[in-house]
Amino acid sequence: MPIESGSCASARQAKQKRKSHSLSIRRTNSSEQERAGLQRDMLEGQDSKLPSAVRNTLLELFGQIEREFENLYIENLELRREIDTLNERLAGEGQTIDGAELSKGQLKAKASHSTSQLSQKLKTTYKASTSKIVSSFKTTTSRAICQLVKEYVGHRDGIWDVSVAKTQPVVLGTASADHTALLWSIETGKCLVKYVGHVGSVNSIKFHPTEQVALTASGDQTAHIWRYIVQLPTPQPTADSNQVSGEDEVEFSDKDEPDGDGDGSSDCPTVRAPLTSLKSHQGVVIAADWLVGGKQAVTASWDRTANLYDVETSELVHSLTGHDQELTHCCTHPTQRLVVTSSRDTTFRLWDFRDPSIHSVNVFQGHTDTVTSAVFTVGDNVVSGSDDRTVKVWDLKNMRSPIATIRTDSAVNRINVCVGQRIIALPHDNRQVRLFDMSGVRLARLPRSNRQGHRRMVCCSAWCEDHPICNLFTCGFDRQAIGWNINIPALLQEK
């Protein structure tokens, strides 16, 4: 009668255990519905002030947690059995390999190596499952606090900048690589005015502090000041953004991009010529902004300079030199004659025009790649964002080191600060938009799914704190701007 070898017996034993394991999983799956029913009955019998929809969502999430950990427990048992089987097989092989005996130390080392590999597999599986569960909680929270309200579609190319008017009527402005700037009704998403005076990409747009006048910077080496007149349409009821569903991370193709003529921007009134054209740069004008009071404007260019102009006469007042590479952005202080310029030379500079006889400059160093933007906040702080994937908060009285550093997983583009609540909106190359407080604590990430959110790089963000419908706007290279409603009290409470 043939005698079964040790290896064949081990293989048969492992096969039987795997079969038993699969049967166990089938039994587990068959009882899931029964457990869910029992849990619902238990919850319904309890007093709770939670809405039924929220309770059902929590029930589903906890059920998912239980299933995940049950599967992990079963897999852990199976892996332990495989480890024991492997150790037994190695012990048997240690007496017969090449007719020589393995030393006890060699056998132990070999078994330890195999055990560590299986242990690593277990850890990886556990981490992936746990991360998925935690992610589902975060997604639910973000969607409750940050809701997409309106999409502004009409540009034929990527949108570089977004801004909100400071005077009534409050409108949204977008600057695009399609050589146009558009003004939108925030409530209806309808295009109100199209500016076509530039012959190059429109890289930024800013509104005058007291008049219906806009300032745009362009790749045609100029900045234009132009007047607009708008009549707001009657608002229409907006769809409930809570109905949008889907996974938080979805890959998109070019087919998913909005149509360039989506909202009929070609039908809105057109402004074809500026009131004033500012012409002193020898390269692309990448950004422009109004100084406090609106009587002067500053521009930043790829020719490595920033220029200060008198708006009424269009004359160049000062040329600000010192950056070693192209400028990427400029920003002015809301109440003081201060300007900050950022550059590809990894620095940003603070220019002080408060004393007409002295124009001082301070250089801030701390980033290791292009500084994409630097903006003022209330008080004596500046926030800078960079391609080095960090955002830094600085005290103007201490230039040596930042008082807070935010580290992210993607390059940061044109940031914006909610002045009243001191919340920073970070638009990223990886299509995400994250919200942080000034101390560097992450508050939320704007939801993305297969039906909402940006499909390509997010270029800019802009807060409008007092608007009742949308208080945050973002734009991207997917040719659309998006209006969000951020429940700031709930956001800060979650913190």
pLDDT at 136: 46
pTM value is: 0.70
How many Å apart are CA 349 and CA 442, to the nearest integer?
Answer: 27
- Could you report the per-residue pLDDT of 376-398, keeping only the tens digit for each? 997 789 999 999 999 999 998 88
pLDDT at 481: 98
Encoding tokens for residue 36?
Answer: 């869910």
Encoding tokens for residue 327?
Answer: 């400028």
Q: Which residue has the tokens 């908060």?
A: 393
pLDDT at 106: 52
pLDDT at 93: 66
Considering only CA atoms, which of 459, 464, 460, 456 is closest in space to residue 485? 464
254 Cβ neighbours under 8 A, 6+ residues apart: none
pLDDT at 236: 57
Give the residue ranges of the chain where pLDDT is below 70.
1-47, 93-143, 234-266, 450, 495
- Could you report the per-residue pLDDT of 263-303, keeping only the tens digit for each? 556 689 999 999 999 999 999 999 999 999 999 999 999 99
pLDDT at 76: 85
According to DSSP, the residues that pair with 349 across neighbouring strands are 341, 363
pLDDT at 458: 97
Give the chain's count of helices (H) and strands (E).
4, 29
According to DSSP, the residues that pair with 271 across neighbouring strands are 195
146-153 sheet: strands from edge to edge: 146-153, 480-486, 472-476, 458-463
Encoding tokens for residue 106?
Answer: 């060699």
pLDDT at 338: 95
pLDDT at 347: 97
